[in-house]
Amino acid sequence: MAHWEYSPPSADLSKKYRNELNVGPTVAELLARLELADTEEAARFLDPRLGSIDCPFEIPNLEAAAHRISQAIDNRQRIVICGDYDVDGVTSTALLVAILQEFENYPAYIVPLRLEEGYGLSQKAVERALDKANQPDLFIALDCGTNSVEAVQHILNTGCEVVIVDHHQAKEELPKEVVLVNPHVNDRESQNHCQLCTVGLVFKLAHGLLKVRRERDDKRAFEIKLRNYLDLVSMGTVADMVPLNKENRIFARIGLQVLSKTSRIGLKNLMKVSGVAARHGVNPIDVSFRLGPRINASGRLADASVAVELILSDDPSFALETSLKLDSFNRERQEIERAMTDSAMEQIRTNQSDRSGFVVYGDDWHPGVVGIVASRVSKAFNRPAIVLGREGDLAKGSGRSIEGVNLVEVLSPYSEKLENWGGHPMAVGVSLKSEGVEEFSEYFDKALKDYLATHTVEKTLNISAWIRLEDINTQLMNELSRLEPFGQANPEPVFATKRIVFGAKVTVFKDIHFRFTLPSRSRQNISGVAWKMADRIPPANTPVDIAYRLVWNTFGNKKALQMELVDWRES
């Protein structure tokens, strides 16, 4: 059970929002938590519009990039695009290729082969891209390239110019000839666009390109509707877990609406095989747990350019065949992940059960799924975990932490003994010589013990608002929908209600979950489900406080209000 924390926001601000924005008290309280500048910004948050996005040329170097691409269109130059193999990279590549095709420029494109060419803009990936494009005039790297100094210099040495659109932090300085569109490097002071992922930046680049082409009176530029590309932007934005506020909120909110009605036959088929009921609207969970994993699986196990081809294709038979192929990759990824998780758990139970954190390693573990396995192990034991697979003479992998433990602080003193590492407090990537794994494992355990001796680590559940059961109705759900989509910087609200009595009608299913029904004073029963909580069923006929989320259950053709229990405690 977590420690519940509730800090009410400003009552005056909540009242102001309630009066001036015509929202109910619960939504007014949730808005007051978001630290919006004023009522005007709160109104924009509730009603995001594409017309309110900033001029793309406010992003440093974006205008130069748009002009260079426009020049390539005019001169019929050969362009090659290299995008990363995750959802952000795949959607970025598909978006830019599609826009260029509208201008009758048909770029070659590749996505790095993870197992053969490594991560990002590697030398091997560059060679393949240059070969595929047959001496291109312009090389565009998407979601990679900021730290690929040698590979970029190699491209420049062939006489090819380089544009990079990326959102990763810079560790090195690129040659000055490169046009780099990266707010983290060039716009650090204003921080205006640092929250955009790469597909958001590519959308801004497409906007800039249209402005340039319209100034040149290119009729094609007036026929392109940028809104139609927001389906791709929403997918990359949600999957990359960037903050869903400011422009990202506009891209995600409107983009998910576009995605639910997309005309792209590839995405329609992918949604069908993924079990996404687009008629009910597409939500972030559909992207994160259904569409995203299938796109990612192609990059983890095979070639992510298959996913780009799927998005761009207008061939129904190819779209269905490729969607089924991605679904198959995802099932294979899940099987590999299950086997690795079982093996990692066995290692821990046998050798490391008393440790404060775990480093597990497998010679034959697939490097494409180590991050997922680390996450599963960490959650299972509620301790930090690093999972490593073998790549040549290196052990490479990912680490995941628990609330309150900063992995960057823990690993920093050991950094000189690591070949490579980086990340943030909750997730890191590391590589080291294979023979050093045992020493690293012992260091990790000791460093965590020292860390925990000086830091208080307690799981905290933040309560968004206390409400009554009779407040839960369709009107509240409709008001809450104005705050969607939920994600980073706009968390899905967790509500709490005092002194609830569970009757005897609690049904356990699949051994680990349970369903329940609660009567409210409005004489309307509220159905609920508790995922993975069958070992913690509230006592019958004893008042308890409950914490929960409110969702629409859209199983089949029905749409019903449902409570998802998060935690309970004695009243």
Each residue of 117-133: pLDDT tens digit? 877 899 999 999 999 98
Calpha distance 37→54 (Å, rounded): 17
Per-residue pLDDT reduced to its tens digit, 499-530:
999 977 899 999 999 999 998 776 678 999 99
Mean pLDDT of the chain: 94
CATH code of residue 27: 2.40.50.460
Band (155; pLDDT cuts 50, 70, 90)? very high
Please give the span between the terminal C-alpha atoms of the chain, in angstroms, as a whole number. 14
> What pLDDT is recorded for position 171?
80
> What pLDDT is recorded for position 26?
96
Three-class SS of residue 428? strand
User: What number of other Cβ atoms are within 10 A of residue 488's Cβ?
Assistant: 15
Calpha distance 492→290 (Å, rounded): 19
106/198 same-domain check: yes
**100 falls within a domain:** yes
445/475 same-domain check: no
Rounded to two decimals, the pTM is 0.91
**337 falls within a domain:** no
Per-residue pLDDT reduced to its tens digit, 174-203:
999 999 999 989 876 667 788 999 999 999
41/110 same-domain check: no
**349 falls within a domain:** no
Residue 486: DSSP 8-state = P
CATH code of residue 212: 3.90.1640.30
Three-class SS of residue 425? coil
Look at the block and give the residue holding tokens 């409709």.
478
Calpha distance 530→538 (Å, rounded): 11
> What pLDDT is recorded for position 260?
97
Of 17, 29, 23, 37, the C-alpha closest to 463 is 29
> What pLDDT is recorded for position 190?
64
**50 falls within a domain:** no
414/298 same-domain check: no
**244 falls within a domain:** yes
> What pLDDT is recorded for position 556?
66
Question: Tokens in use for 436?
Answer: 């050093």
Length of the chain: 571
Q: How far is CA 145 from CA 182, 194, 268, 420, in A?
A: 10, 17, 31, 17
Three-class SS of residue 39? helix
> What pLDDT is recorded for position 19?
95
Domain boundary among 397, 425, 457: 457
- pLDDT above 70: residue 468: yes
448/477 same-domain check: no
Band (392; pLDDT cuts 50, 70, 90)? confident
8 A C-beta contact, residue 319 and residue 269: yes
Please state the separation of Cα 54 from the chain's center in Å: 23
**341 falls within a domain:** no
426/508 same-domain check: no
184/246 same-domain check: yes
Please state the separation of Cα 139 from the chain's center in Å: 26
Per-residue pLDDT reduced to its tens digit, 216-245:
999 999 999 999 999 999 999 999 989 999
Contacts of 229 (CB under 8 A, 6+ apart): 95, 98, 99, 203, 206
Identify the domain containing residue 321 by its residue range: 56-326
The total number of structural domains that make up the chain: 3
> What pLDDT is recorded for position 189?
63
Q: Which of 130-134, 153-157, 251-255, 557-561 has the lowest mean pLDDT?
A: 557-561
289/391 same-domain check: no
212/272 same-domain check: yes
8 A C-beta contact, residue 242 and residue 197: yes
403/480 same-domain check: no
CATH code of residue 430: 3.10.310.30
Band (496; pLDDT cuts 50, 70, 90)? very high
**340 falls within a domain:** no
Domain boundary among 426, 457, 488: 457
Of 382, 84, 440, the C-alpha closest to 236 is 84
Of 272, 275, 327, 276, the C-alpha closest to 302 is 327
pLDDT > 70: percent of the chain: 99
User: What number of other Cβ atoms are within 10 A of residue 422's Cβ?
Assistant: 15
Per-residue pLDDT reduced to its tens digit, 401-454:
998 899 999 999 999 999 988 888 899 999 999 999 999 999 999 999 999 999
Domain boundary among 457, 481, 511: 457
**346 falls within a domain:** no
100/244 same-domain check: yes
Calpha distance 80→75 (Å, rounded): 15
Per-residue pLDDT reduced to its tens digit, 302-359:
889 999 999 999 999 999 999 999 999 999 999 999 999 999 999 999 999 999 999 9
Mean pLDDT (whole number) for 73-92: 96
425/446 same-domain check: yes
